[in-house]
A = this chain, B = another copy of it.
Amino acid sequence: MSDIDMISAAAGRLSGHIRRTPLLTSPFLDEIAGRRVFVKPECLQHTGSFKFRGAWSAISALDPGLRAKGVLAYSSGNHAQGVALAAQMHGAPSVIVMPSDAPALKIANTKALGAEVVLYDRGREAREEIGDRLAAERGLTLIRPYDEPQVIAGQASVGLEIAEQAAELGVADSAQVLVCCGGGGLTSGVALALEAKAPKMTVRPVEPEGFDDVARSLQAGAIQRNAAEAGGLCDAILTPAPGQITFPILSRLCGPGLVVTEEEALRAMALAFLRLKIVLEPGGAVALAAALFHGTEIDGEEVIAVASGGNVDPEVFRLALDRLDQA
């Protein structure tokens, strides 16, 4: 179980290897939101998302002999790139299992970060069978994307930084912290870190419409699944349901979930481009979208939004820029 000691130990291993991302502000965003907005741009993290933190934490925690055999991940997205680069920087091999219809650019990027990419046919094969076989043959260690204590402890470093930076900037110690939420690794990590370091802050998970499993699970007090498994622009944070490890943490520590539309996520991307000069992907913009467009559901004169990633294709980014022309 991730606790503050495990989180502090992970932060020690991450130090000097991850980027300490700043807290960004703009008076123009404050005016839209009706309160001060602080944005934590994890798009500026290595590999363009917070996932590098958890991957580094998990890989650095492995026994060196085991690590030398290599690590395994199932992902065609941000987790794949985080694991590939973190493994490469540890001098460890990595195998990433991806569907054969994954975008060519994502496959190429993951290979360029030093990973061996193994493709499988979604229609005919189960990725777990391939992964289990490779793991058994080579002694690989599976790095789960969120339901893994050392991954959660790594993502929690975002929360440690928020607690320190909020104090430095004079942000109210009771501010709400909005976090883009998929399986809940980042959200539960931030919540655990803030429980210890800024206990008056409340973490609020933010999800896109149609994939609000965490919001509904929190409301029901039990894990709820999404009707759809995939689809839409916010692919980076779409998971079928909150995790077995993450949900109890979310349930104990987080405030009610917030749900935004894809249109709001695109408008938040456009405003992040215009006012903060950062590149966000739709899934990485939902927390900022909630801060900007769901102000009546948020308490306090200041709000912190974690912008979780920026790995967006140019054609999707153009959709966001189109929103500026209409404004």
Contact = CB atoms under 8 A, between A and B. Distances in A.
A69 interface: no
The oligomer's copy count stands at: 2
B277 A48 contact: yes
Interface string A39-75: 0010110001000000000000000000000000000
B276 A277 contact: no
A273 B278 contact: no
Which bucket holds chain A's interface residue count? 20 to 34
Contacts of A318: 318, 321
A14 to B, nearest CB: 15
A113 interface: yes
Contacts of A279: 273, 277-279
Interface stretch (A19-27, A92-100, A122-130, A172-180): A19-27
A314 B112 CA distance: 30
Interface in A191-223: none
A325 interface: yes
A87 interface: no
Contacts of A325: 314
Interface string A296-318: 00000000000000110010011
Contacts of A48: 277
Given A27-B85, A27-B113, A28-B112, A44 B314 contact: no
A227 interface: no
A102 interface: no
A90 to B, nearest CB: 15
A324 interface: yes
Contacts of A314: 273, 321, 324-325
Given A24-B44, A28-B112, A321 B310 contact: no
A310 B44 contact: no
Interface string A1-38: 00000000000000000011110100110010000000
A321 B318 CA distance: 8
Nearest to A89: B27
Contact of A317 (B31, B112, B321): B321
Contacts of A19: 22, 24
Nearest to A324: B314
16 contacts: A19-B22, A21-B22, A27-B85, A27-B113, A28-B109, A28-B112, A44-B278, A273-B279, A277-B278, A277-B310, A278-B279, A279-B279, A314-B325, A317-B321, A318-B318, A318-B321
Given A20-B22, A314-B321, A318-B318, 10 more contacts: A19-B24, A24-B44, A31-B112, A41-B277, A43-B277, A44-B277, A277-B278, A278-B278, A278-B279, A279-B279
